[in-house]
């Protein structure tokens, strides 16, 4: 296997890496836009395709699984053929299958094309963390935090954009808009994406490309610890995303507009948490930040659990959830930073492992909430509290102490 040799252009690009962050955020926004824009259209899609609404509701979990699969498939390939080539392949495939989703005539077609759309979405977004790692070096946590903060605008606006499109035309236009968006991003990437390509990692077999690549990541004890923490934090965060509309609207009887306001406030807090983490983690280190943030998360998750157990008013739930989600987002950024530090030459594979575990664990949040459903906020609070406790066990366990 050849040792990758950085391009001379890396040094020039790294002089002002912040200028690339809006483009990186726009690429990363492909997935939240694809997930959230069509949510208001689910009933109309079901009616148009003459299919059961329950089938379409499962499309979110299917999308997350397929997205994780895409990262798993394309991660080692990105290390082999180069980030920019993988980005072009991913955005091209995403565009094609967005158009095919729009042309679906049955529920089965819709789910198949959505799955393929997700797979290529994974191929396009997995190159961003590695590119940030190469550009920012020791300040990787800052780059990841800034991109995440900018990208947060997408899930905040996506349902509104989808709703506006539905007011003007039919649901298929949502996927035409997604296709147009990916084409614009593709053209911008061809012109402006930093040319940081390293000499391709030569591989002689499938075993060397996949098995050896993933074994390199998973056999690292220090990395395994951070991967587990990242997975648990992601599962806990997806539990919030999956269940919060039910909690606010069904359990507490809040209006859809109030739900939108509270969700928007939480997004703003997530942005604030990312920006704050970017400044502090550079000084104290990502690993130290994980420890400090966990204690804060434990306090607010305990408050959340007590609020649900005592059946307190919704405002107490909000006071526990909003800072807790900020802690989880910062934890995810910090664990990703520590993982990418270990594998500067194999960031595609490392990102694939992170993404596969993240979105794979996120996809089971919905089924678990449904299984424990009792009409109250208690299962929701218990799952979130359990996630925080497990993060603490993994992080502070003597058997997993980083030496």
Q: So what's the pLDDT on residue 387?
A: 94
Burial class (CB in 10 A: 0-12, 13-18, 19+), 222: middle
171 lies in some domain: yes
Three-state DSSP string of 3-21? CCCCCCHHHHHCCCHHHHH
Torsion angle of the four alpha carbons 118, 193, 269, 164, in this order, in degrees rounded to the nearest 10: -60
238 shares a domain with 130: no
Q: So what's the pLDDT on residue 10?
A: 46
Q: Are 61 and 51 in contact (CB under 8 A)?
A: no
SS3 for 376?
Answer: coil
- The total of structural domains in the chain comes to 2
Q: How far apart are CA 155 and CA 176, in angstroms?
A: 18
7 lies in some domain: no
Q: So what's the pLDDT on residue 54?
A: 67
* Concatenated DSSP letters of 214-275: HHHHHT-HHHHHHHHHHHHHHHHHHHHHHHHHIIIIIIS---HHHHHHHHHHHHHHHHHHHH
Q: How far apart are CA 270 and CA 116, in angstroms?
A: 30
227 shares a domain with 155: no
Residues 6+ apart with CB under 8 A from 284: 292
The number of helix segments (H) and strand segments (E) in the chain equals 21, 0
Q: Are 123 and 70 in contact (CB under 8 A)?
A: yes
179 shares a domain with 241: no
Q: How far apart are CA 225 and CA 394, in angstroms?
A: 7
Sign of the CA dihedral running 298, 301, 303, 309? negative
Q: How far apart are CA 400 and CA 226, in angstroms?
A: 10
Q: How far apart are CA 31 and CA 63, in angstroms?
A: 10
205 lies in some domain: no
Q: So what's the pLDDT on residue 393?
A: 93
199 lies in some domain: no
pTM for the structure as a whole: 0.77
Q: So what's the pLDDT on residue 316?
A: 93
CB atoms within 10 A of CB 172: 18
180 shares a domain with 59: yes
- How does pLDDT run across 119-166, given as a tens digit for each residue? 999 988 888 888 888 888 878 888 888 888 777 788 778 877 888 888
Q: How far apart are CA 389 and CA 366, in angstroms?
A: 20
For residue 115, what are the domain limits? 13-193
168 shares a domain with 243: no
Sign of the CA dihedral running 65, 66, 69, 75? negative
211 lies in some domain: no
Q: How far apart are CA 216 and CA 37, in angstroms?
A: 37
SS3 for 5?
Answer: coil
334 lies in some domain: yes
356 shares a domain with 278: yes
261 shares a domain with 188: no
179 shares a domain with 31: yes
Residue located via tokens 């002002």 = 16
Of 177, 193, 209, the last residue of a domain is 193
256 shares a domain with 152: no
Residues in the chain: 403
Of 144, 178, 193, the last residue of a domain is 193
202 lies in some domain: no
182 shares a domain with 225: no
382 lies in some domain: yes
- CATH code at position 331: 1.20.1250.20
Q: So what's the pLDDT on residue 208?
A: 64
* Concatenated DSSP letters of 323-375: HHHHHHHHHHHHHHHHHHHH-TT-HHHHHHHHHHHHHHHHHTHHHHHHHT--S
Q: So what's the pLDDT on residue 11?
A: 43
Residues 6+ apart with CB under 8 A from 234: 332, 357, 358, 359, 361, 362
179 shares a domain with 253: no
Q: Are 100 and 113 in contact (CB under 8 A)?
A: yes
pLDDT per residue, tens digit, the chain (403 aa), is: 444 444 444 444 555 788 888 899 899 889 888 988 887 787 788 888 888 766 776 777 788 889 888 888 888 888 778 888 899 999 999 999 999 999 999 988 999 999 999 999 998 888 888 888 888 887 888 888 888 877 778 877 887 788 888 888 899 999 999 999 999 999 999 998 887 655 555 555 555 667 777 777 888 887 888 999 999 999 999 888 878 878 887 888 888 678 778 877 888 888 888 888 888 887 888 788 899 999 999 999 999 999 999 989 999 999 999 999 999 989 998 888 888 887 766 777 888 888 888 888 877 887 888 788 888 889 999 999 999 999 999 998 854 555 4
228 shares a domain with 174: no
């Amino acid at each position: 296997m050849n040792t990758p040799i950085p391009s001379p252009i890396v040094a020039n690009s790294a002089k002002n890496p912040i200028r690339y962050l809006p483009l990186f955020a726009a690429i990363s926004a492909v997935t939240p836009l694809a997930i959230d824009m069509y949510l208001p259209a689910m009933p109309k899609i079901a009616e148009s395709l003459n299919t059961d609404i329950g089938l379409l509701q499962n499309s979110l979990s299917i999308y997350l699984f397929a997205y994780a699969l895409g990262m798993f498939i394309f991660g080692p390939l990105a290390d082999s053929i180069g980030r920019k080539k993988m980005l072009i392949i991913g955005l091209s495939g995403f565009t094609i299958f967005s158009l095919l989703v729009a042309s679906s005539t049955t529920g089965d077609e819709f789910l198949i094309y959505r799955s393929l759309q997700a797979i290529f979405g994974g191929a396009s977004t997995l190159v961003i963390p590695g590119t940030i790692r190469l550009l920012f070096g020791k300040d990787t946590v800052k780059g990841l935090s800034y991109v995440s903060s900018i990208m947060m605008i997408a899930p905040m606006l996506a349902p509104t954009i989808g709703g506006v499109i539905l007011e003007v035309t039919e649901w298929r236009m949502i996927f035409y808009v997604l296709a147009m968006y990916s084409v614009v991003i593709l053209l911008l990437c061809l012109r402006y994406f930093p040319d940081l390509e390293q000499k391709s990692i030569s591989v002689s077999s499938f075993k060397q490309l996949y098995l050896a690549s993933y074994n390199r990541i998973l056999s690292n004890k220090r990395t395994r610890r951070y991967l587990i923490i990242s997975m648990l934090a992601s599962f806990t965060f997806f539990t919030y995303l999956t269940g919060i509309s039910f909690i606010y609207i069904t359990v507490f009887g809040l209006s859809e507009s109030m739900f939108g306001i509270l969700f928007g406030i939480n997004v703003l807090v997530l942005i604030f948490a990312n920006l704050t983490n970017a400044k502090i983690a550079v000084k104290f280190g990502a690993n130290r930040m994980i420890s400090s943030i966990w204690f804060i998360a434990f306090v607010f998750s305990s408050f959340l659990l007590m609020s649900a157990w005592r059946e307190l008013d919704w405002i107490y739930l909000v006071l526990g959830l909003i800072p807790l989600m900020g802690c989880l987002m910062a934890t995810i950024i910090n664990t990703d930073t520590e993982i990418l530090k270990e594998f500067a030459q194999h960031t595609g594979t490392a990102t694939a492992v992170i993404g596969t575990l993240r979105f794979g664990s996120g996809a089971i949040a919905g089924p678990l909430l449904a299984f424990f459903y009792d009409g109250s906020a208690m299962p929701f609070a218990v799952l979130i509290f359990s996630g925080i406790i497990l993060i603490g066990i993994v992080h502070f366990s003597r058997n997993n102490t980083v030496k």
